[in-house]
Chain A
Amino acid sequence: MIDFARVQKELQECSKDVEGSGIRVAPKSDATLARLVGTIPGPIGTPYEGGTFQIDITLPDGYPFEPPKMQFSTKVWHPNISSQSGAICLDILKDQWSPALTLKTALLSVQALLSAPQPDDPQDAVVAQQYIKQHQTFVSTAQYWTETFAKASSRGIEEKVQKLVEMGFPEAQARSSLESVGGDENLALEKLCSG
């Protein structure tokens, strides 16, 4: 069984430091703590700078004794992240996982991976080849993807979600109603109020 008491504590701990780390973790819905969404800011000085990346988190039954499953839901161009599926190649999410690690530390490691790609152990061979052989092209592609998939609209939505949360609505509901009305704050608010 998942140790939900610990997950709950982890979420509290993480929300205390959002200002400092920029890392957020929130349940996908109110129904369960087993499916979460993590958010990390693209590291400064990388092609991911300015982007906000969302990561789908699924906790296995054995959590925290088994590693959480993490996958980018925001498209990202990186040698160790599948450009198709968002799958992440990171040792601490596999055999180097330790129960002493948390979702936050894992997300920090993912963020560190964005700043320090390891093309020798690629998840996406095409990206890795480009990273090694045509580095400039790689940088501009990664920037373009950040621009297209991780910025503007999604950042806008983050802010709007935050606003609605501050108004007292649960984050997941705020997010889904915003998504359902195409990002219009007022329509989303109406929707949340009506039911």
Chain B
Amino acid sequence: MEDFLSDDDYYDSGRDSLDGLENEDSGPQWVPSKGPTCKVITKESLLAAQREDLRRVMELLSLREHHARTLLIHHRWDVEKLFAVLVEKGKACLFKEAGVSIVEHRDLDAPPPPTVMCDICIEDVPSGETTKMECGHCFCNSCWTEHFIVKINDGQSKRIKCMAHKCNAICDESVVRNLVSKTNPDLAEKFDRFLLESYIEDNKRVKWCPSTPHCGNAIRIEDDQFCEVECSCGSQFCFSCSSEAHSPCSCLMWELWVKKCRDESETVNWITVHTKSCPKCHKPVEKNGGCNLVSCICGQAFCWLCGGATGRDHTWSSIAGHSCGRYKADREKKAERAKRDLYRYMHYHNRYKAHTDSFKLESKLKGTIQEKVSILEEKESKLRDFSWVNNGLNRLFRSRRVLSYSYPFAFYMFGDELFKDEMTNEEREIKQNLFEDQQQQLEANVEKLSKFLEAPFNQYDVDKVMETRMQVINLSGITDTLCQKMYECIENDLLGPLQLGIHNIAPYRSKGIERASELSVCWGDKVNNSGKPLPPHCGSTADPLLMLGGTTESDQPSGSGSSDETGYAPRKRAKTNVPGGGRFDLNLPADVVDRN
């Protein structure tokens, strides 16, 4: 299986839900890590996460924080893109587009007149009660305040523009905060929260965890947004659509499938295909025989094809005194088609449902199997390592999910709804055979694996336990390979050649869905003067799996599915770690830091 294990199959998260999956039989293959790719952002680390990006922009462009924030919000917190625009279009353009104005106002030196006419309330106001924004527009404080309140209440905190007509400048957030808090401290707080949450809501690399009730976390990914992640609260989801993890189904396919299963359109279809309402009493009547004359319990006979009332006198091909004209063939075709579609859907849905139902029983199965393991462990025996049981079980769960979601995938891949015009019938048939062959192989092996794991191996003698062990290890390897191949087939042979590039699928991860690790933020040391992006996880504690890397798998305790707490970075790092003064304290609100 070496040939398809690429670096991507490994990631060095100590909280991997499938820890210790590979055992000595398949050979441990510790590949150099490329760093964790997704992070949990908690309520506590949100500010720090945001300030990390703010600081990069502030340092590179020598900006004040609110300007950096305005730029970042405009570019949806995509620092790389912001830098690219800077290189491509220059500073002036970058600033103008985002509404950042850094202009020196000469007239600041001149003594201000005693009163200023505010163009909004059309009153003469003492100069001291007015505020000039950086764009140079000056209005009275009470007008500014009123403007800010309306905008914050309107959900526009992130981009409050100057009041002057056609002035694109974004108001200085500290001015907003100061003026609003004088009359409306609650709203000022709301404003700060909006600014903070913009880091999540306007950021294409960050998404709220979709758990309900909400765990309060968000997940940040490094590069590929087509991935599946697990939040520290345990909820697993598709990063790109925020619904349950559904690969190898694409997001669009999944959305359609969920809708299809929810709508009872199919049942409605069934009724229209199989019944017709009686022209006399309007009860639905099922067609009972081969001929097209049906009769209702009320005694009325009617023509199945057009629904019109008729007499009872009929032959196979005609009903006495009745002819239903030109729609006959068409109607028949339509009915046939609806019936075919329905059966097709039922075929895929039944299989999808069977596997979904199985993995809903996972935790129960896990419990009973763990009982068997503890019975075996208590026995005086030369068998000590039972990690294969858990590994096999995790493999079973993983593969069942793949299988389950492969049915809605196939439903759309080979149906008419999405790709009708993209494949000829022959092409489609070839592809379908290829896919179904793989699907069947996977299904057969998954069932076998399941059978071995559910067997009462705790009652077996040593030789038979050893044999079960071999089978489970083998089948685990095979199903892993088959899952991998199925994803490859989908990517390369099925979706790859198609025109529509909208069906992206999260890559297969042999070890299961990646669990996001706690965000660790770079601390004050090594100030990044070069302007280069900071390395992805400097300052984090040593990665637990890197530490494990040198040891062999069999040293791990068996039967402890995941090692949740080991090597887990503390939630907040002590402030005392920061040497010297003048550093950012990332636990303090932005304005407090600015004041220091």
Interface of A toward B, CB cutoff 8 Å:
3, 5-6, 9-10, 62, 64-66, 98-101, 105
Contact = CB atoms under 8 A, between A and B. Distances in A.
Given A65-B150, A66-B150, A98 B122 contact: no
Given A3-B121, A5-B121, A6-B122, A98 B163 contact: yes
Contacts of A100: 119-120, 163-165
B165 A6 contact: no
Interface in B78-128: 119-123
Contacts of B167: 98
Interface string B279-297: 0000000000000000000
14 contacts: A3-B121, A5-B121, A6-B120, A6-B121, A65-B146, A65-B149, A65-B150, A98-B164, A99-B143, A99-B147, A100-B120, A100-B163, A100-B164, A105-B165
Contacts of A62: 146, 150
Given A6-B120, A6-B122, A64-B120, A98 B150 contact: no
Contacts of A66: 150
A93 to B, nearest CB: 13
Contact of A99 (B120, B149, B166): B120
Interface residues of B, number: 16
Interface of B: 119-123, 143, 146-147, 149-150, 161, 163-167
Contacts of B161: 98
Nearest to A5: B121
A99 B145 CA distance: 12
B163 A99 contact: yes
A100 B118 CA distance: 10
A66 B119 CA distance: 15
B431 to A, nearest CB: 43
Contacts of A98: 161, 163-167
Contacts of B122: 5-6, 9-10
Nearest to B166: A98
Contacts of B123: 5
A62 B149 CA distance: 10
Contact of A101 (B121, B143, B165): B165
A78 B143 CA distance: 36
Contacts of B146: 62, 65
A105 B164 CA distance: 13
A107 to B, nearest CB: 15
A99 B122 CA distance: 11
B216 to A, nearest CB: 32
Nearest to B122: A9
B125 to A, nearest CB: 13
Given A5-B121, A6-B122, A65 B165 contact: no
A3 B120 CA distance: 10
Contacts of B150: 62, 65-66
A4 to B, nearest CB: 11
Contacts of A99: 120, 143, 147, 163
A100 B135 CA distance: 15
Contacts of B121: 3, 5-6
A143 to B, nearest CB: 33
Contacts of A65: 143, 146-147, 149-150
Given A99-B147, A105-B165, 20 more contacts: A3-B121, A5-B121, A5-B122, A6-B121, A6-B122, A9-B122, A10-B122, A64-B120, A65-B143, A65-B147, A65-B150, A98-B164, A98-B165, A98-B166, A99-B120, A99-B143, A99-B163, A100-B120, A100-B164, A101-B165
A5 B120 CA distance: 11
A98 B168 CA distance: 11
A66 B150 CA distance: 7
Considering residues A9, A10, A62, A99, which has the most beta carbons from chain B within 10 angstroms of its beta carbon?
Answer: A99
Contacts of A64: 120
Contacts of B165: 98, 100-101, 105
Contacts of B143: 65, 99
A16 to B, nearest CB: 14
A99 B120 CA distance: 6
Contacts of B147: 65, 99
A98 B147 CA distance: 10
A100 B165 CA distance: 6
A9 B123 CA distance: 10
A99 B142 CA distance: 13
